[in-house]
Amino acid sequence: MSEGLRPSATSPGLHIKGGSYSTAPTGEYACHCGATDSAKGTTAVKALVEAYSDHKASHAEAGR
């Protein structure tokens, strides 16, 4: 993956790369607070998206 597309603390976000018939989807996220996570496989990537959404919501609730 190009370094320019990778999420980081200075450029937070979620990046998902869809798989094909022979490769599994992958995903990663980074938050401005420094939290990061990654996943490989359909089920794990779906869980990663939920975890990222929950993490962002926790910042919103805390007013950060």
- pLDDT per residue over 27-43, tens digit each? 999 998 999 999 999 99
Residue 14's pLDDT is what?
94
Q: What are the domain boundaries of the chain?
A: 3-54
| 14-51: b (≥16 Cβ within 10 Å) or e | bebeeeeeeeebbbbbbbeeeeebebeeeeebeebeee
**Residue segments in the chain with a per-residue pLDDT below the cut of 70:** 1-4, 63-64
Residue 4's pLDDT is what?
64
Residue 3's pLDDT is what?
58
Residue 54's pLDDT is what?
94
Residue 51's pLDDT is what?
96
Residue 1's pLDDT is what?
46
Q: What is the DSSP string of 16-35?
A: EE---SSS--EEEEE-TTS-
